[in-house]
Amino acid sequence: MSAYIIGTRNSSLAMWQAQFVQWLLEEQWPDDQFSIIGLTTTGDNKELKLAEAGGKGLYIKELEEALLKKDVDICVHSLKDVPVSLPLGCSLAAIVERGEIRDVLISQKKKALSEFKEGMKVGTSSLRRRSQLLSQRPGLEVVDIRGNIDTRISKVMDGEVGGVILSAAGVLRLGMENIITEYLDPHVFIPAPGQGAITLECREEDDDIRLKLRRIHDEESGQAVFSERAFLEAMGANCTLPLGAWCEIQQFQMRLHAYLSSPDGKNVMMDTTVGPIGHPEDLGHQVAERFMAQGAKQILEQCV
C-alpha cells in the first residue's frame, strides 16, 4: 500500500473537488491511501486585485510550492485558475470529466438579467464577465466582488448588489442549484478557458503518480480544454484577459467558440471554428491566428 497527500485550497468548493478526486482515486486504487490537506493561497487575500497582483496563478502558487517541496503529492485545481505555463518540475497529469461549463446569474427575487434596469448593480471579479456585461447591457453598473461563493451570494441577499455572475459548476458542486436564477447562453456569454474542469497536477518526475492519475483522466474533456488553453496561450497566456473560449465536441468534431473584448466591452471579437478531434492545440492556434488577422492586437494593447 502507498500513501499520497492531496493538496488543495481551503475553500469549501476546493475541498469538495479534492474529496471528489479522492473518491475517484480510491475507487481505482483501493489498496492505496489518499489524504487531503488544505492550504491558504495568495489569491485568497480579498484585498488583492488579481489583475494587478499577478493573475489567477496566485490561487495555486502555494500549492505548487508545497508540491515541489514534497509536502503534497497531488494538487487539485479548478483548471480555469491554472496559467498555461507551469513552474519547472510541475506537470498537469489529468483532467477529470468536465462539469457544467456555463455561467449563471443569481439575483434578488429571481430577476432575469434581461429585467435589470439601467444603473442596477451586478457583481463579478472576472474581467471577462465584466466586459461581457458591459457589452450586452451597457447601462448596468458592474461591481468588483471577491471572495468565495458564499460571500458573493451573501452580497446579493444583503442587497449590496442586484445579482452576481458565477460559474455554474461551483454552485452545483456545493448543492446550491435552487438559488440559480438563470443559466447564461454559452454561445453568447462564452465561458473562461477550462471553466467547469478539474485538473490534477503532480511532479514531473513522479511516473508512478502520473500513471495513477491517468486512470481518472477523461479524454474528451482533455481534448476540449487543451484547445481552449492553446487559444489562451496564443493570445498572450494571461488569465486576466477579457477572453473566453469554449470547445464543444459533437459528432467527432470540435467546435471552438472564442471571445475577446476591450475591458470596457466596447470592442468585441467573437468567432467559431470547427476542426477534427485529435488536434486540439491546432484548433486553438487557428482561432488565435484569425483573431490576430482581424485586429486583435489593438484590443490586447488596451488590456495591458
Residue type, 65: E
For residue 272, the 8-state DSSP code is E
Beta strands in the chain (DSSP E): 3-9, 33-39, 74-78, 90-95, 103-107, 121-124, 141-144, 163-167, 182-183, 198-203, 243-250, 253-261, 268-276
**CA proximity to 186, closest of 244, 268, 228:** 244
Backbone angles phi, psi at 97, to 5 degrees: -50, 125
Of the candidates 81, 218, 264, 282, the residue annotated as catalytic is: 81
Q: Cell 474529496, residue?
A: 19
Q: Determine contact, residues 70/179, Cβ cutoff 8 Å.
A: no
Q: Determine contact, residues 261/250, Cβ cutoff 8 Å.
A: no
81 is catalytic: yes
How many CB atoms within 10 Å of residue 23? 12
Q: How far apart are CA 82 and CA 283, in angstroms?
A: 20
Radius of gyration of the chain (CA): 19
User: The dihedral of CA 117, 118, 121, 122: what is its sign?
Assistant: positive
Q: Residues, the chain, total?
A: 304
Q: How far apart are CA 71 and CA 77, in angstroms?
A: 16
Q: How far apart are CA 81 and CA 26, in angstroms?
A: 25
Query: Which residues are catalytic, by number?
Result: 81
